[in-house]
Amino acid sequence: MGNEKLSLEEVHNSSSPKTTIWWFFLIATCVKVLLFPSYRSTDFEVHRNWLALTHSLPLSRWYFDETSPWTLDYPPFFAYFERFLSIFAHLFDPQIVHLHQGLNYSSNKVVYFQRFTVILSDLSLLYGVYRLTRKLDSRKQNLIYSLIIWSPMLIIVDHVHFQYNGFLIGILLISLSYLEEGRDLLGGFVFAVLLCFKHLFAVAAPVYFIYLLRHYCWGGILRGFSRLLIMGGLVAAVFASAFGPFFHLGQIQQVIQRLFPFGRGLCHAYWAPNFWVFYIMSDKGFAFILRKLGFNIQTPAASFTAGLVGDSSPFSVLPRITPSVTFIMVLLALSPCLFKAWKNPRPHMITRWISYAYTCGFLFGWHVHEKASLHFVIPLAFVAAQTPEDAKHYFVLSIVSCYSLFPLLFEAQEYPIKVLLLLLHVILSWSGFSAQFYDRAETRAPIAQTKQKVDQFGSEGSLSSDVKKGGFVFGLIERSYLAGLVFIEIWGQFLHPLLFGDKLAFVPLMLISVYCALGIMYSWIWQLRSIVKSH
């Protein structure tokens, strides 16, 4: 027994967490470099244009320029980030940052440069993962490294489709790491910085506000007020450094209009798998039935994706949904979490609460992009390593969320890539969770501790049966649902074209949205139940 302990310690000490995480990053980088020539979306030209306008124009014209249809609509810190990158872009290839000659520029130089900047910016993700896992045992560390650094969702969205989500989520993880350590001031500061990079992360702001007010500021009038002033002053300084120049120029209204274009409509062009998919389908179903019954139901003149047209509604039967309605629904969905954060603000719960907040924003928000599922799937990877029930939930959620991104890569040559990435994720996460929770070679103490943690969330019944079976086992409902994803994919790729040809081309995408929305709704309910039942 002593020799076994010694060997485990030697294995653990032979490779430090810093060395291990760099190996994970290096392997991921090799895969990303191989994907350089693959498909890239219009987001690639969006960010190239932002490089050009921030480099070629004075700051006073950044949020007014319309040389390209892809105008700047991110907060100032991201614009400053693009301006920083443009310095190197100009040295690498001056045409990249030429405002007019650079339009739709797509040489290998610009492709390699921009894709390489995404890889480098992922260092913030690497640091965030390291900070949140540095006190965990090596097995949990490696599990989380594989779930996040090798995340198929991040590879699909950032390194094929093209965006900087890894960079931004890394900042979020850094903020969460400070909060988990009890360093609330730094956690709030980093989150304020994140909001000035991308305002869509503000969905979690109510949770941050309640948690910091209760955990950091509360406790006596003098102490509480002084801490409130310190936190408020620090956040105000961050926003002043971002928006101050535009306030000085009298352009705040223009910046706000660019950041919040509510005219874009309730849904994105490809419906994100959220609550509004069911609302839209219900409206269409009611309209169809009423027409069959002889009622005069008019076809709506407005669109779900292009914004509201005049006073008309894109719905035939159900009430029109406005941005204010979605805002209220998000707050209502958040309220149990806010109550828990106020009643008992525990640092080790903050990642779970923030993940839940972004799930609420994804499900009930206005004009949600399918890529926004990254905001809660990535942080939930840390929660997944805590208990078997958390792991099972994450396993299903990560598969569903990754599959919901498949329509982003619609060209034939990328099909094997996205399928292979998802299959590798399934294999790695399955084996990782099985080793974490059901390896009988380890002492039985961790299992007992896990059962105690699960009792805390009220899920001991299903866990006990799984532990007895000694494997990472799912119930019939989970297995049936995941099997349904395979059927949806076979239908969309093979059966639908065979039976209908080019007709009803929207049906496969609609099926993906509706079916994946069921999985996301299940995740939301599961997270809500866990939070409500936590002690």
List, for residues 460-469, the tens digit of each pLDDT value: 333 333 433 4
How far is it between the farthest Cα atoms of the chain?
82
Q: What is the pLDDT of residues 294-350, one digit of tens each?
A: 888 777 655 555 444 344 457 888 898 889 999 999 999 999 999 999 999 999 999
Give the dihedral of Cα atoms 90, 93, 96, 97; nearest 10 deg. 20
Cα-Cα end-to-end distance for the chain: 37
CA distance to 41, 50, 62, 259, 307, per residue, from 69 (Å): 14, 11, 13, 15, 17
pLDDT tier, 265 (very low <50, low <70, confident <90, very high otherwise): confident
Instruction: Give burial (CB, 10 Å; 0-12/13-18/19+) of 185.
Output: middle
Mean pLDDT of 87-91: 97
Rounded mean pLDDT of 402-418?
Answer: 94
Is the Cβ–Cβ distance between 364 and 274 less than 8 Å? yes
Rounded to 10 deg, the angle between the 323-343 and 506-533 helix axes is 30
Asked whether the whole model's pTM tops 0.85, one would answer: yes
pLDDT at 415 over 70: yes
Q: Write out pLDDT tens, residues 119-165.
A: 999 999 999 999 999 999 999 999 999 999 999 999 999 999 999 99
Of 98-112, 302-316, 346-360, the poorest mean pLDDT is in 302-316
DSSP 3-state of 408? helix
318: closest CA among 272, 277, 268, 279?
A: 279
- pLDDT, greater one: 314 or 529: 529
Among the listed residues 427, 400, 516, 408, the one whose alpha carbon sits nearest the alpha carbon of residue 155: 408
Residue with tokens 């081309």, as numbered in its chain: 505
Q: 298: which DSSP letter?
A: P
Query: Is 190 exposed, middle or buried (CB count within 10 Å of its CB: 0-12, 13-18, 19+)?
Result: buried
Does the pLDDT value for residue 23 go beyond 70? Answer: yes
Q: What is the pLDDT of residue 437?
A: 82
CB–CB of 121/167 below 8 Å?
A: yes
Query: Cα(180)–Cα(387) distance, rounded to whole angstroms?
Result: 18
| pLDDT, position 267 | 80
Average pLDDT score over the chain: 88
Is 80 exceeded by the pLDDT of residue 264? no
Of the ranges 204-208, 307-311, 434-438, which one carries the lowest mean pLDDT score? 307-311
Question: In this predicted structure, what is the pLDDT of residue 367?
Answer: 87
